[in-house]
Amino acid sequence: MPRIVAVSSSALNDAAQILRDGGLVAMPTETVYGLAANALDGVAVAKIFAAKGRPGFNPLIVHVPDVAAAEKLVVMNDAARLIAESFWPGPLTMILPRAEHCPVSDLCSAGLPTLAIRVPALKATQDLLRACAVPLAAPSANKSGSISPTTPKHVADSLGDTVDMILAAGACDVGLESTVLDLSGDVPVVLRPGAITAEQIGHVLGCDVGYDLGDHGGADVKSPGQLLRHYAPAIPLRMRAVDVAPGEALLAFGSTRFMGLRGGGAASALPEHALRNLSENGDLYEAASNLFRMMRELDNGQNSGIAVMDIPDTGVGLAINDRLRRAAAGSVK
């Protein structure tokens, strides 16, 4: 088992030392746990790809403590500055052209002329970034293709001893990966929906901002991560379920009063191993923060599949449905 250490000033100093020495640290953020390495050190960044089993064509997000640090790595245009003022620190990543003398390892960009950059909000992440004083490359701290971790235990279960230390700060507040906003082209476009919506971004930029989630397939996919089988539990998952089949688990949202079991009975009669509710009150933010943990809990060897109740496709519901669609597509076996 890897070393799991609760955040404290000595734990932060240890983690910073490991990172400066070229090691890997799983770090908490407000979105999901990240697998961090010194972004300036190509050998350290290569360890991330090896630990995750991540294809080399899939670039990484680089984390910095503030806008001033971002300006050293990427070209911030006017739109990027506006977005940074409104949403940083926070659960939003911008894709921007690499600065001319950007010191970040080319491996982070996977050969692209752009870099994904984020200023995280969680105090522990900020403290770690300041303690190690280098930008940190950090994808989600899970094996490539599986569900992102929202607790330290998820990280340990997924990555085991390939990580030198897990810095633990409890469960992640947001629970979904950051919104990825591409500002490197002529029009701003959201490549991965998250807690910050295209609508909120459009409001700040004063224009309509759309999504490009790569679901059209083909060669013009903008974010390499969109090509991958993703966020998949080991058992089939189906969306917009109106009833539950024998052997299936139910991932509920809101009231289960009208959910029945095929063959008779009410959903509320399902055993504990086969029933989770993302949010009994129908709160989408609560649902987002519970999503990955509950998907893992239902993928427990006792259920043959997961039936998910309908989740409204508005606000952060869009991001939840994006993750569910990828899980459903990935789990057809």
In the complex, which residues of this chain contact ligand TXA (CB under 6 A)? 29, 31-32, 34, 58-61, 93, 95, 109, 112, 114-116, 118, 138-140, 177-178, 180, 191-192, 222-225
Per DSSP, the three-state class of 106 is helix
238 is in an annotated binding site: no
Residue 151 annotated as binding?
no
Chain residue whose CB lies nearest ligand TXA: 225
User: In the complex, what is the shortest distance from the CB of residue 133 to Mg ion, in angstroms, rounded to a whole number?
Assistant: 25
The 10 Å Cβ neighbour count of residue 6 is 12
Binding-site string for Mg ion from residue 139 to residue 178, where x marks contact by CB under 5 A and - marks none: -x--------------------------------------
Determine contact, residues 176/68, Cβ cutoff 8 Å. no
How many CB atoms are located within 10 Å of the residue 117 CB? 28
Q: Which two tokens stand for residue 131?
A: 């303690």
Residues in 87-146 at the binding interface with Mg ion, rule: CB under 5 A: 140
Give burial (CB, 10 Å; 0-12/13-18/19+) of 233: buried
CB of 81 to ligand TXA, least distance (A): 19
**Is 314 annotated as ligand-binding?**
no
C-beta closer to ligand TXA: residue 38 or 140: 140
Q: Is 189 left (phi over 0), alpha (psi -120 to 50) or beta?
A: beta
Between the alpha carbon of residue 269 and those of residues 260, 266, 295, the distances in Å are 10, 6, 19
Query: What is the SS3 assignment for 20?
Result: helix
- Minimum gap (Å) between residue 39 Cβ and ligand TXA: 12
Residues forming contacts to Mg ion in the complex (CB under 5 A) are: 140
Annotated binding-site positions: 31, 54, 58, 63, 114, 118, 138, 140, 148, 178, 192, 231
